[in-house]
Amino acid sequence: MKLLDPRGFGMMCATGAVAIGLTVAGCANRVEGVANPNASDLAAYKTEAASSSAAATSSRRAAAQSKAIADNCGQFPTISGLGVSRYNEFVDAHDANAPDYLAKRDLAVSTLEDAANTVESGVRTARDALPPDLAAQFTEYVSAARALAGETRTMTYTAPVGALNDASKRVNDARNVVRDSCPRR
């Protein structure tokens, strides 16, 4: 039996490929004009793409808002509650003319300021993810806590307590509004 000659076989394949290529090229017709997409298909595609993009953006926005609410509302009771506790300890020391009155006053001031700073930082970190009404309520608490810290700082045994009581009521009101606005756990 005789083996195929590789050179002859390669030449035969090359000749066949050229013949097929010339046949296909000779049978091809050129179509005049400009290729354009089907207008109705293009419009449907654009509508679908825009809808899909809007849905993805909406989903991301909703997830960011949910996280911002959970982060801020989750920390608020503990942070603001500590401020309330330290403030109440100061009031008890003030009312009892206790020897640790100044230390408790200073601790209440620093705790209220820390609470205000922490809540403010949470709102700032959330940026636009928090609903505007909830962000405004947190901001009111921050202002009220700072005002109460300022009034507490000026208290002495003989100072009138009217302004302190007003500032305390403002903090309590702001705290209640935030707690009522935050989702229940």
What does the pLDDT read at residue 19? 72
Question: What's the pLDDT at 118?
Answer: 97
184: left (phi > 0), else alpha (psi -120 to 50), else beta? beta
Domain range summary for the chain, segments of one domain joined by +: 54-181
Give the tokens for residue 44. Answer: 């449907």
pLDDT of residue 31: 64
Check residue 98 and give its pLDDT.
92
How much is the pLDDT for 57? 60
* d(C-alpha 64, C-alpha 41), whole Å: 35
Q: What is the mean pLDDT of each run of 10 residues along the chain (185 residues)?
A: 66 76 66 72 66 66 88 94 96 92 96 97 92 96 98 91 95 96 83
pTM, two decimals, is 0.69
Fold of 54-181: Four Helix Bundle (Hemerythrin (Met), subunit A) (1.20.120)
